[in-house]
Amino acid sequence: MAADTHAQDAAHRRDRAVRAAVEQGLLDREPVVCLLDVAGIRASAAALTEAFAAAVAPGTPVLHTFAVKAAPLVPVLRLLDACGLGCEAASPGELALARAAGVPAERTVLDSPAKTAAELRGALALGIAVNADNHQELERLDALVAAAPTRSPVGLRINPQTGAGSIGALSTATATSKFGFALRDPGARERLVRAFAERPWLTRLHTHSGSQGVPLELIAEGVRELHGLAEEINAAVGKRRVDTLDIGGGLPVDFASDGHAPSYAEYVAALRAAVPALFDGSYGLVTEFGRSLLAKHGLVLARVEYTKTTGGRRIALTHAGVQLATRTVYAPAAWPLRILAYDAKGAPRTGAPVAQDVAGPACFAGDLLATARELPELFPGDVIAVPDTGAYAFTAHYGYNSLPRPAVHGFTTTADDTVRFALARPAQSPAELVTEAGGDHRDALL
């Protein structure tokens, strides 16, 4: 019942935000804008921390980090920092965003399969946690740690090789995944145990086998493998060498409704069933959630510019397409998105459903957010809203056709349903586009 209430509250806030965006002129200044529900983000962060707090033994160190790649916006990272979450960065750019947001080094983790020596040296100097991806990186760390001892927690990323989910491109625990130390290859476990026995500064193990399309049981299996390896290492070394398990993130998101399933409480329950000892206080815990924290709280709003009928099919041409929902356009079966119809004043549009394509502005035929979608008939000037886009969508712009990055506004609602917007990222101007495209160097190739 509580989950239903939260979903209803979020849907109410969404409808109010759409109307307010129209009434306050956001869609007059630009034909597409993106919104983030601040209350929803705060609620997701609280649900995550509460689910783990209810399960772990008292005094267990737990650090929840946000995967920056899911929503690389400094105000988002700052908001989550205020909610007690750190950052998981997978590039120098993401690390720079976390630093700009004021996230402390001790609540930051650096993961990437291709870190340069300079990246590693900088992270170690700051005291940022580092998870090494492979044996060659571990050898690079040997030299760096010998040259300048560090306070950074250092661990190894493990690929438990437990298998794929339904989206192959996002499955990171396959037999041949590019990520991490393969655990089931011949001689792999022995080599990993030896690595820890020889390096007192190695204190963590990391895995990330969850993502969209990966069921809870498979995620939990990967964590069970990680815990088992930690126990094996500590027994072999004869002391508690591994003190922290970074169990990643990757909780799937329901893109078909306003529901939040699976929940963080269900995730924790699956872990407790598969690895009961995970929560007994023997190990500190780190998580790295992204999509599940932000996706449900993002909304794209776009004006319908034109409508037409071609070959008997209704088509609504809008300003929202591949630049904002890249995965949906290129892999619609794996990444379907809902489309909500509103009239020109921002009120939910009613009427008999009509099969319509909802097309974006890019110059290729596949730029479609929905095909033959049953919606109330759309007209020029109407507004479409695309929910569940707060992660890996408009926050990570795709620059096809030099389409500009749209403005991103956070919104909050007061007790009397007043909606207040706060600019989190301004729209990209034509001048900024030109500069980004080398405009200051126009004669360089002559």
Catalytic residues: 363
244-246/202-206 β-pairing: parallel
266: which 2 tokens?
């269900």
N-term to C-term CA, the chain = 67
The sign of the torsion formed by the CA atoms of 427, 432, 434, 436 equals: negative
Listing DSSP states for 200-249 in one string gives TTEEEEE-----TT--HHHHHHHHHHHHHHHHHHHHHHTS----EEE---
198: which 2 tokens?
């020889």
The CB-side HSE value for 302 (13 A sphere, CA atoms) comes to 25
298-310/383-387 β-pairing: antiparallel
CA-wise closest residue to 208 among 43, 69, 373, 103: 69
Which residues does residue 67 pair with via DSSP β-bridges, in sequence order? 88
